């Protein structure tokens, strides 16, 4: 089985290339194990069998924690076996212990690409092009062909947002399955909906700026101005306004400024120079 193209042994020297970089090409399931661990020995053949059955939809990477203790510590491993799933360079989910095969299949199916995902990708492209009827048709085709595709609720939500149906979108995002709650796209959409709601009946940017010229302590106007700037993609200016609001009025709408900053970080994917810079500024302002 070790000769399988779907299974590799990983060391500290190869973790970056095989797991982190490799997970941009296909998901990588990392099994942290040890010889003395009986549940590890029970789990190994199940994972190897699934790696073969799934035919390359994921790579199974095995880490012997007795030989790679530093790597295990760096990965936050506290019990064995621990199995982490990497997608696009980061851990998206994990489980501990020797789960039954059916539960592991369910775990994998939540995250692995499915043939019907191509239809949903095309639907997203149509939404971006403004063809909402075409997007809906592809979503319904996906629902008919693969009703268990876990990304269908997200596609429905994206279509509702594209239609501008704000109240319905807010209800849909709160009803999403738990496995989608921390999805990067969902976090970004949640942030965008937060700001869209803030400007629904708000004055224009020039009017808000004029109000702040007269009264710099007008918290609502400053928050609405930041929301306008988020929605047109001027994230640096939006973060500056939210940071200023956080400094001036932490109590505004139950710490809305700090929560807004975190929502912008989600929109930016949680990393990058702008996120790092304003995360540091936010921490300095807090402490």
Angle at 24 between CA 179 and CA 261, to 5 degrees: 55
Q: How many CB atoms lie within 10 A of CB 1?
A: 12
Q: What is the pLDDT of residue 3?
A: 58
Q: What is the pLDDT of residue 204?
A: 96
CATH class of 7-109: alpha beta
CA distance 198 to 196: 5
Mean confidence (pLDDT) of the chain: 93
pLDDT at 2 over 80: no
| Residue bearing tokens 């070790």 | 2
* Residue 43 and residue 60 in contact, taking contact as beta carbons nearer than 8 Å: no
Predicted confidence band at 115 (pLDDT cuts at 50, 70, 90)?
Answer: confident
40 is catalytic: yes
Considering only CA atoms, which of 228, 231, 191, 238 is closest in space to residue 208?
228
pLDDT tens-digit profile of 32-75? 999 999 999 999 999 999 999 999 999 999 999 999 999 999 99
Token digits of residue 149? 């595709």
Domain boundaries, the chain: 7-109, 117-181, 198-286
Helix-strand-coil split of the chain, %, nearest 5: 60, 10, 30
The catalytically annotated residue of 40, 63, 256, 257 is: 40
Q: What is the pLDDT of residue 124?
A: 94
| Residue bearing tokens 């924690």 | 65
The catalytically annotated residue of 10, 19, 37, 225 is: 37
104 is catalytic: no
Query: Is 198-286 a CATH 1.25.40.10 domain?
Result: yes
pLDDT tens-digit profile of 145-199? 999 888 899 999 999 999 989 999 999 998 988 777 777 788 889 889 999 999 9
Give how far the C-alpha of residue 96 lies from the chain's centroid of Cα atoms, to the nearest Å.
Answer: 21
């Amino acid at each position: 089985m070790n000769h399988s193209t779907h299974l590799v042994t990983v060391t500290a020297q190869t973790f970056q290339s095989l797991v982190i970089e490799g997970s941009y090409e296909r998901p990588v399931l990392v099994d942290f194990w040890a010889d003395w661990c009986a549940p590890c020995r029970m789990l190994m053949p199940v994972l190897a069998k699934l790696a073969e059955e799934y035919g390359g939809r994921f790579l199974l990477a095995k880490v012997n924690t007795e030989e790679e203790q530093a790597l295990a510590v760096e990965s936050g491993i506290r019990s064995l076996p621990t199995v982490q799933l990497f997608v696009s360079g980061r851990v998206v989910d994990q489980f501990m212990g020797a789960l039954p095969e059916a539960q592991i299949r369910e775990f994998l199916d939540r995250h692995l690409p499915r043939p019907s995902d191509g239809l949903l990708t095309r639907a997203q492209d149509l939404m971006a092009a403004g063809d909402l009827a075409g997007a809906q048709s592809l979503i319904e085709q996906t629902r008919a062909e693969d009703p268990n595709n876990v990304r269908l609720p997200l596609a429905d939500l994206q279509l509702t947002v594209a239609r501008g149906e704000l109240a319905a979108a807010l209800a849909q995002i709160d009803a999403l399955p738990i496995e989608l709650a921390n999805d990067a796209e969902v976090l970004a959409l949640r942030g965008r909906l937060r700001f869209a709601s803030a400007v629904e009946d708000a004055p224009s940017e020039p009017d808000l700026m004029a109000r702040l010229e007269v009264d710099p302590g007008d918290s609502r106007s400053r928050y609405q101005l930041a929301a306008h700037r988020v929605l047109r993609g001027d994230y640096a200016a939006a973060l500056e306004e939210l940071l200023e609001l956080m400094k001036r009025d932490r109590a505004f709408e139950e710490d809305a400024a700090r929560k807004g900053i975190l929502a912008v970080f989600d929109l930016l994917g949680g990393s990058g120079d702008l996120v790092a810079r304003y995360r540091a500024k936010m921490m300095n302002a807090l402490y």
